[in-house]
Amino acid sequence: MLYLVGLGLSDETDITVKGLEIVKEASRVYLEAYTSILLVDQSVLESYYGRPIVVADREMVESNSDEILRDAQTEDVAFLVVGDPFGATTHTDLVLRARELSIPVRTVPNASILSGIGATGLQLYNFGQTVSMVFFLENWRPSSFYDRVKENRDVGLHTLLLLDIKVKEQSLENMARGRRVYEPPRYMTVGQCARQMLEVEEERGKGVYGPDSLAIGAARVGGKTEKFVAGTLKQLCDADDALGPPLHSLVLLGRRAHELERDYTREFALDKELWDRIWNSDYGKQ
Amino acid sequence: MLYLVGLGLSDETDITVKGLEIVKEASRVYLEAYTSILLVDQSVLESYYGRPIVVADREMVESNSDEILRDAQTEDVAFLVVGDPFGATTHTDLVLRARELSIPVRTVPNASILSGIGATGLQLYNFGQTVSMVFFLENWRPSSFYDRVKENRDVGLHTLLLLDIKVKEQSLENMARGRRVYEPPRYMTVGQCARQMLEVEEERGKGVYGPDSLAIGAARVGGKTEKFVAGTLKQLCDADDALGPPLHSLVLLGRRAHELERDYTREFALDKELWDRIWNSDYGKQ
């Protein structure tokens, strides 16, 4: 059996009781560690589970999945995923491959940022599609997120933006020379995301949002040090210190917001007066 | 401290290790039991936790929240919610009230149907807003869901429909006579939902979807007996036997679907040939 086990959002105790039992019994335990991270190290997980863990990087999962699935027709293999197992496309691939090999699959769901973001006080019913924001490079500034955000904003819905993480990346030079030397991990911040959003609005110019649009920066959702900062996109460009360490996410508000959402989120506003003023003029419309 | 503890989707072992520790230590334990249900009885939870549970019905949570929050400034109160604590608006109210009373609040996230539905193989990025479908009555057939589905369909996104549950409801007669006699619980099925959808399309006539639109019926997501049935809305009108007992949910597909989604969902199709034919003509367009 292949078990896809969600680990939740924060630390080693966010695994479910069911998930923990599976991890303790499995023949081999893999940890997918390139689409998201927990706020604790692998060693903490290993000592908590009492089991060694093989960290599965993107290359292993995408090109060498048969090693992960080896003998899973008769043995139990646990594949651990931060958040919920179906957050990333990659795992669909792994299940399809398991089906081809006649390996039964079970999923152990867990919290995902897609529902965890409800802790902002924004209603999950008022979110449109979720989008990803990647680190811009000098010659690569993909702006398809802008079209998706526009679709949400056009009908008044909130947008959750999931922010890029880079782990085990090689510099072009090291890649060219075949050196297995990796860059330090990088996690996009709310400030970086807000700046990229405003740059793209400037380029594309459709007025999907602007510096005064309301948004909420979220850090370490579901963890003990969870933190929310509400403000305009312009304010959020400089709110990284207030938010603290990764992981960050950003929600751009939609105008269809409900007054219960206003009452709840106001608590997080950097400048409550400004928040109220913009809210009252532009938000809460059906 | 008020702890909002998510229970996940299926049985007593879907609680997180962190959540279980809180439940075992809390002074009082409440279970919100009117927006969703687990697949096991309250007595199973009580014996698993080793704690008595007070079932909190809608009236208690909405009108008598101060009883739930009593002394939570100094004691720990655990408020258990099936799925993730922020799935329903009601709990936002409870937290706002706690804030007024200077009670600190912590949330323990868990799996929600909003991410659990990823087990269909549909990509969570391709979902628009989530909508609710209520039981129609003779004189009350709210069709605002249709406008929301249209917004999703217009841009090619999937729609998750969460289906009504009725627990501890009184008949009009018993209510009028003040008799505390309750109707047996009712859970909307995929078949009922599909029929109501087609009725409303007939009334509203905007061609948002039709009998040949592709959809997936989901039952007991996250549980051992989880079951998916894929077909046209017309087929799903009669698929309740194949799906089995509650809880059910339904996903109406959007045309922007990806071929990986096709490969994965095809496995669940009632009629693979029909599924392929409609998919190839209407879906997978960007």
Q: Is A240 annotated as a binding residue?
A: no
pLDDT tens-digit profile of A180-230? 888 888 999 999 999 999 999 999 999 999 999 999 999 999 999 999 999
Pairing mode, strands A105-108 and A2-6: parallel
Buried b (16+ CB within 10 A) or exposed e, B156-173: bbbbbbbbebebebeeee
The answer to whether B81 faces chain A, any CB pair under 8 Å, is no
Q: Could you give the 3-state DSSP secondary structure of residue B6?
A: strand
Binding residues of B for S-adenosyl-L-methionine: 9, 84, 87, 112-113, 163, 221, 248
pLDDT for the residue B7: 95
pLDDT: is A171 or A279 the higher one?
A279
Please, are residues B213 and B252 in contact by the beta-carbon 8 Å criterion? Answer: yes
Whether the per-residue pLDDT at A176 is higher than 90: the answer is no
- Please report the residues numbered 160 through 219 in chain A whose beta carbons come closer than 8 angstroms to any beta carbon of chain B: none
Instruction: Determine, for residues A92 and B260 on separate chains, whether the beta-carbon distance falls below 8 Å.
Output: yes
Instruction: Determine, for residues A92 and B121 on separate chains, whether the beta-carbon distance falls below 8 Å.
Output: yes
pLDDT tens-digit profile of A47-68? 999 999 999 888 888 888 999 9
Residues in chain B: 286
Q: How far is A96 from chain B (nearest CA, A)?
A: 7
Q: Could you give the 3-state DSSP secondary structure of residue A79?
A: strand
How much is the average pLDDT of A137-142?
A: 93
Chain A residue closest in CA terms to B11: A18
In chain A, the largest separation of any two C-alpha atoms, in whole Å, equals 62
Token digits of residue A50: 């009492």
Residue with tokens 């085990």: A168
Cis peptide before B247 (omega within 30 of 0): yes
Cβ–Cβ contacts within 10 Å for residue A41, how many?
A: 11
pLDDT for the residue B286: 60
Lowest mean pLDDT among A29-38, A115-124, B195-204: A29-38
Residue with tokens 């057939």: B141
Instruction: Determine, for residues B155 and A151 on separate chains, whether the beta-carbon distance falls below 8 Å.
Output: yes
Instruction: Determine, for residues A260 and B92 on separate chains, whether the beta-carbon distance falls below 8 Å.
Output: yes
Instruction: Determine, for residues B222 and A109 on separate chains, whether the beta-carbon distance falls below 8 Å.
Output: yes
Instruction: Determine, for residues B125 and A121 on separate chains, whether the beta-carbon distance falls below 8 Å.
Output: no
pLDDT for the residue A64: 87
Side by side, the strands of the sheet bearing B227-232 are: B131-133, B159-163, B248-252, B214-219, B227-232
Instruction: Determine, for residues A109 and B14 on separate chains, whether the beta-carbon distance falls below 8 Å.
Output: yes
Q: Which residues of B touch A96 (CB under 8 A)?
A: 260, 263-264
Instruction: Determine, for residues A124 and B157 on separate chains, whether the beta-carbon distance falls below 8 Å.
Output: no
> How close are the terminal C-alpha atoms of chain B, in Å?
48
**Which pLDDT band, with edges at 50, 70 and 90, does A234 fall under?**
very high
Whether the per-residue pLDDT at A286 is higher than 90: the answer is no
The residue of B44, B84, B97 whose CB has the most chain A CBs within 10 angstroms, and thus the best one to mutate to test that interface, is B84
Phi, psi angle pair for A194, to nearest 5°: -60, -40
Under DSSP, the state recorded for A256 is: T
pLDDT for the residue B63: 85
Is the CA virtual torsion B271, B273, B276, B278 positive or negative?
negative
pLDDT for the residue A9: 93
What domains, with CATH codes, occur in chain B?
Answer: 2-111 (3.40.1010.10), 114-282 (3.30.950.10)
Phi, psi angle pair for B63, to nearest 5°: -115, -15
Please, are residues A242 and A271 in contact by the beta-carbon 8 Å criterion? Answer: no
Q: Is A63 annotated as a binding residue?
A: no
How much is the average pLDDT of A34-42?
A: 81
Q: Which residues of B touch A132 (CB under 8 A)?
A: 125
* Percent of chain A residues topping a pLDDT of 90: 79
Q: Which residues of B touch A25 (CB under 8 A)?
A: none
Instruction: Provide the residue-wise pLDDT of chain B in tens; the chain has 286 residues.
Output: 999 999 999 999 999 999 999 999 999 999 987 777 787 888 999 999 999 999 988 888 888 899 999 999 999 999 999 999 987 666 888 999 999 999 999 999 999 999 999 999 999 999 999 999 999 999 999 999 999 999 999 999 999 999 999 887 778 888 888 888 888 889 999 999 999 999 999 999 999 999 999 999 999 999 999 999 999 999 999 999 999 999 999 999 999 999 989 999 999 999 999 999 999 999 987 6
Q: Which residues of A touch B125 (CB under 8 A)?
A: 129-132
Residue with tokens 């950097």: A270
